[in-house]
Structure formats: structure tokens, C-alpha cells
Structure 1
């Protein structure tokens, strides 16, 4: 077998990249077809979002097989974006789990054909208990679409599978519609970065959504001296604090910064000066860089990381009313899992 080629059963070879490209092209075409069909679904989408916004209970998502896997993923997405959601396996529903579904809930049922037999008990229960139901299916005349209060009918598209059999593009469209509904609810509720932080306290996402004030160096760890201090004093603070930067203040406000690189370049320029003049008699404020990049205490850590990366700097002071109250370094952000 050569690199990039895969041998199939009849001895022929195919291009792995070519197969992947064809599958993704079909998927992209399917998503484009769904986007084009949205205008015809406008009233139904508005009704579905209205049901979910007015829901007093939880969103119960159900589906079997591949649709079930998509449903479980969507339950996690809805929950993490402010809509309490739970995945209900239709077979388990028939053996007692229907008891968790209440009239205050809304059911989101997924079935490409709309004729999944295992969903019948869920449909019957929803009718008896008047639980609102939203269907995501590809058949307008299906049992599921007919039983639902709102039927979001997806366009029937070709599967990425070369035999048009394995659920691939169809499950992609189910997930895309579910994700889009979650985002519509997120926007309607004014779900903010702070809201994300409440639901994502762990992992890199949780780290990125922490506030700068939660992770910054502060108090005695701050490398700050007066702008009137000598260059030698600035070098001492750089060495003692070990952050590669020192902030210079005038009347408590940050006036500028000096970095290790600034010191090196200053000494190179003054190689012919006496040590006394270069280090002891020169004020640090004379060689500082004004207008340095600064951060806010209420800024998200992820935003701070983006700023440091885009400016290609390793540290920045955090200011409150112009005064340095903290320092954030690239190393600090990465050690805290921000990425």
C-alpha cells in the first residue's frame, strides 16, 4: 500500500484524501440545502423557540440509534448553554423512565424517517400528558411529524456514504439544527460569557472564562517601582520578581514599563558610558516604554491570552483607575489551562 492510497477488496486502490474530500463535499452540500430550506421553516422555528423559551421544566431529547447519539450530544449542548436538558433513551422510556417526563417539559424527538417504532410509547405518553413535542425529521407525512406540535422537517439529502446508506449527512443535519436551536435560545436569553463560566468551571474552557482578577499576580508579587528610581533599581526588581517586566509609576499611576530587552538594548547603546552614569545616575523613567498594553480586572482570561498573543508580548499589567493592581503573564495563563 502506498502512502495516501487504500487497497479495497477487489484489489483496486482509492485515494484516502479523495474519499475524505468527496464525503465532506457531500456534507457541505447537505448543510447548504438545509440553509436554503430555512425560509420555509421560519414559522415552525419561531414556534419551536417560543415553546422552549416558555418551558418551565426541562427539555427531554429522545431518539434511537444514530439519532440517539446525536440527541445525547444535543442534551449536553443545551444544558451547557442555559437550557436544562436530559437525554431519554426510548427503550428505557418504555420501561419506567417516562415517569421523569412532566407536562412542564418539552420533548425534542429525533428520527430521520419519522417512523422509529421505539418512539411510539414516548409519542403516546406525550399526547396523554399534553407534553409539547418538537420533531426533527425528514418526512412531513411521518408518524412523528404528524404527532408533534412542531415538525422541523429537514431536506432529504444524499448521505456521504458512497452507498447512500450509512447515516452521515443526515445525522449532521440533525445535529446542525439542534445546535442552531440551542444558539437561538442562548441569544434570546442573553446568555453571556459569565453564564458560560458558571456552567464550565473546569477544563480549558473554564480557565479561559475566568476573570483576569482571579489569576493575576498581585500585591507583593507585583514588579512595580517609581519612575524616578534608578536603572539599577529597575534591574534589581526585574531579577527579584522574575517576570521579565517592571512597571514604572508616577503618583501611583502606571507611566510605562521596562523589560529585560529594554535593559539589554539600553546597555548596548551606552556601552561607552561609565557604570556610575548608566546604572546609578539614570532614572528608569528615561528608558521606559510608554503606552504599553494593559488589561482590565474584569476581562476574561481567554481574551487576555488573545491580546498577549496578538501583540507578541509575554506579560501585561492589570490596571484599575490607571493604577497597577496585577500582572498577567503568558506563563501564568498557560499554567492555569487557558488555551
Structure 2
């Protein structure tokens, strides 16, 4: 085969699978709606099962359901008849995937599922199949032909099942009113989770790590504090411990440009008085937004009484995965 023929084969595969996905639109019916209502009313979990390639798709659908507000997990049908069926409770719903609807390992489980009196949703390519007839709701994902050149390997059918599974999960997510905050709670390790969960208080510097000097300190004292705490700034407080201002690397550069004698000048003269502050109970993502908007690299954290409680800079946000 030459290069053009290779591209042609790949093009035909993609076209056939795209056609299979488009064909799903006409298969969305009352059974799909009924499946959504059955799962929405479930007090337990959705137990997803499938054999072979359908099993791989079933595992992905279970993961998508679980991460979008519908508790779910995958059970291998071959293992189910050897003890794993004990994972299914009377509070659950079974979602079974089989393109033929006749997968022996799943059909074997039907009497046991019936005895448990749990509803079963079948997702197959044959509405007249054993699984479809047994189910409380049958979701059809039939395809005209596989994308495999031999018409044998599950290709278009598994793609269709995956897309229908996504449609089911996202529809349920919308039905449940699942929000970005809910998504973050189930994805704490992801970037979205960090942006929606991490507070300023989680990453700010406090105690011995907090750069802070009195307003009557010398500029040299402020420079020593900045160097020791390595945040490129120091908070300046008055006698009551309230924030009086901030002294930053930028202030130092401006001092040098003006040729001011740092041994003689007062810290009050050179610090930034009206500095940007933030509360410790807001999201770290909000701190990033403030820094970007104000074009600054550090923030002082204060409480309701203007007492300094912490400090953070852009590097802290980067380390926390917020940026």
C-alpha cells in the first residue's frame, strides 16, 4: 500500500465511526429517558458491566458516571459469577453493555439479578436480544457496520457505546444539578479542583515565614527581613499591629533610581502605603486574579481588623498549581 492508500483507509474508518455516532441521534427515545429516571431514583450505585471490548467501554462509562455525580463502578461479568456479584446490593442499578445483547457471561447473571430485584438497563445494538428483553430500559446504540475492514473487530460499535455512555452521564449530571464545585470535590488532584478548592489560608506564609517589620524600622532592617523570608516584600505594621503598608523589591529599585540614601531615609517615606490586601478565606484563584489585574507579584493577607495574618506571592500560586 502506498501512502495515499493508507490515508484512504484511515479516512474511511473515521467516516464510518462518525456515521455511527450521528446515527445515535435517531435512537434517543423513551427508553433512554426511562433509564435516566431509573438511575436518578437509585439510592445505591450504578454497577456497570461488559465483556471484552464492551467491558473496556463499560469501565470508562463507570468512571465518567462516578466523576460527574452518579456513583458507579465496574464489575467484570466473568468474575461476578465467582463472587463479585456480592458487590451488587438491592439498592443498586445494573447497566449492562453488549453489542449483540447475547454475551454469555452477562446472560448467566440475569437470574441472579432478577433474584436481587434490581433494575437492569441494557445498552445493546439489538433491541430483540436477550438482554434488551430482560431489561427495565433498553438503550439502543446499533450501528450499520463496523469500521474494521473485515467487519469483525468492535470499532464503530464500541465508539457508539462510548458516546451513548457519555450522553447518559452528562444528562444525569444535568438532571442532578451537578456543579463545577461538585466536580472539583471529586477531582481534587486536577487543576480545576485546585482552583476551586484551595484557599489563600492553605498556601499563605505565616508565623516565622511571614516577612513583617514595624513602621519605625530602618530600611536596612526591612531589607534584611525581605532577604531572610524570600518573598520579595515585607509587610509594615504600626504599633497596634495593623497593616501600615508594604515594602517590596520594586520600592527598592525606585530608591536606587532616585539615588536616595537608604541609611538616612525613613521606611515610612519609601514604602507603599495603600497596598492591595486579601482575606485568608477566599480562593487562591481569586488572589491570582487580583495579582494579574493589579500587575503585582505579592499580597498581604489581613483579617477584619487589618491585622496581618499572612502573605503570599505568585510563586506560591504556581507551586500550588493555581497558575
TM-score (norm 2): 0.75
Choose from 140, 143, 150 the match for 2:130. Answer: 143
Q: Hey, what does 1:223 align to over in structure 2?
A: 211
Q: Hey, what does 1:280 align to over in structure 2?
A: 266
Asked whether the equivalents of residues 154 and 173 of structure 1 are also in contact (C-alpha less than 8 Å), the reply is: yes
2:48 maps to 1:70: no
CA 1:129 to 1:333, structure 2 compared with 1: closer, same or farther past 3 Å? same
Choose from 153, 164, 167 the match for 1:177. Answer: 164
CA distance in 1, matches of 2:18, 2:215: 58
Range 112-121 or range 175-184, more displaced: 175-184
Choose from 255, 258, 281 the match for 1:297. Answer: 281
- Number of matched pairs: 319
Match of 1:156, SS state, is coil
Asked whether the equivalents of residues 245 and 259 of structure 1 are also in contact (C-alpha less than 8 Å), the reply is: yes
CA distance in 2, matches of 1:255, 1:180: 56
Match of 2:44, SS state, is coil
CA 1:150 to 1:228, structure 2 compared with 1: closer, same or farther past 3 Å? farther
Asked whether the equivalents of residues 237 and 246 of structure 1 are also in contact (C-alpha less than 8 Å), the reply is: yes
CA distance in 2, matches of 1:314, 1:17: 50
Match of 1:283, SS state, is helix
Q: Hey, what does 1:6 align to over in structure 2?
A: none
Residue 331 of structure 1 deviates from its aligned partner by: 3.5
Choose from 211, 219, 225 the match for 1:237. Answer: 225
Residue 189 of structure 1 deviates from its aligned partner by: 4.1
CA 1:219 to 1:98, structure 2 compared with 1: closer, same or farther past 3 Å? same
Residue 107 of structure 1 deviates from its aligned partner by: 0.3
CA distance in 2, matches of 1:139, 1:212: 54
Asked whether the equivalents of residues 37 and 155 of structure 1 are also in contact (C-alpha less than 8 Å), the reply is: no
Q: Hey, what does 2:304 align to over in structure 1?
A: 321
Output one character per residue of 1:251-301: Cα deviation in whole Å (capped at 9) or x when no partner.
76667644323422x134303x44455x4365244x467446x465242x5
Could you say what the CA RMSD is over the residues aligned between the two structures, in angstroms?
4.1
2:39 maps to 1:52: yes
CA 1:276 to 1:317, structure 2 compared with 1: closer, same or farther past 3 Å? closer
Range 19-28 or range 111-120, more displaced: 19-28
Range 46-55 or range 169-178, more displaced: 169-178
2:3 maps to 1:13: yes
CA 1:113 to 1:53, structure 2 compared with 1: closer, same or farther past 3 Å? same
Residue 87 of structure 1 deviates from its aligned partner by: 1.5
- Gaps of at least 5 residues in structure 2 are none
Q: Hey, what does 1:4 align to over in structure 2?
A: none
- Gaps of at least 5 residues in structure 1 are 1-9
Q: Hey, what does 2:202 align to over in structure 1?
A: 214
